[in-house]
Structure 1
């Protein structure tokens, strides 16, 4: 029997409390839980949610599998990665994330590249951007706008 495989890129997040993260992602981003695999001590070794039509995998932190080092954004003092959501009602979705406990990193505003866009940090240290295209902008317009920045 052949297994059907669809190529994909799927973020896999390490968090301090995966069960709480699932609850947060449901409230903040309307996620649907796809499943979870707990270890005997209750920590989740694997879980998955669907956000905005895409799968996001997550697990609890297991420092014992990495020479005692935590792999969460909080342990690293932040994250260089931003997970982007393109949505159809960015004002409502941004407000929903903030109401659920996300911290505003970049306020929602109309941007020169044509999106209404903002960024938040979830309670687990992961950074998310939310955007909605509001106007068509050519690469030339974007280049000119970049030259005129700061």
Structure 2
């Protein structure tokens, strides 16, 4: 009997010290730990969390599994990826991330596309944006604004 598959798209984060990252995500984003699979030395080969209701997987860095290269954002000099959370009460959620140890990349402010929005980087180098819709804005209005400012 086949197991039914629910379509999903889930980030899989590589970090230094996955156990500490789990603790951070619980404090910063109210994550719920689903489970973890440690090696005998304690490094996590897999962990799963729910953040904002969605699955996020993570693991410790294992360069031996990546052609000898470290794959953390810190070792790579940053990340081109931003993980976005749409939340209510963005001010509280943003401050909670800062209190847990995140650093501001872009301060919270109302944006032309209709969100109160800001960005942080977590202590492991992953970038997160938090946004709360505050007004409806059409794509035409957004395009007009970008055309004026460009």
Query: By the TM > 0.5 criterion, same fold?
Result: yes
TMscore range, shorter length: over 0.9
Q: RMSD in angstroms over aligned alpha carbons? A: 0.8
Alignment correspondent of 1:30: 30
Structure 2 SS opposite 1:55: strand
Q: 4+ residue stretches of structure 1 with deviation over 3 A?
A: none
Alignment correspondent of 1:97: 97
In the alignment, does 2:104 pair up with 1:109? no
Which whole-Å CA distance do the structure 1 matches of 2:101 and 2:59 have between them? Answer: 20
Give the alignment's TM-score, normalised by structure 1: 0.98
Deviation at 1:76, TM superposition (A): 0.5
Which whole-Å CA distance do the structure 2 matches of 1:94 and 1:17 have between them? Answer: 23
Alignment correspondent of 1:16: 16
Alignment correspondent of 1:54: 54
Alignment correspondent of 1:65: 65
Which whole-Å CA distance do the structure 1 matches of 2:25 and 2:108 have between them? Answer: 19
In the alignment, does 2:40 pair up with 1:44? no
Aligned length: 150
Give the alignment's TM-score, normalised by structure 2: 0.98
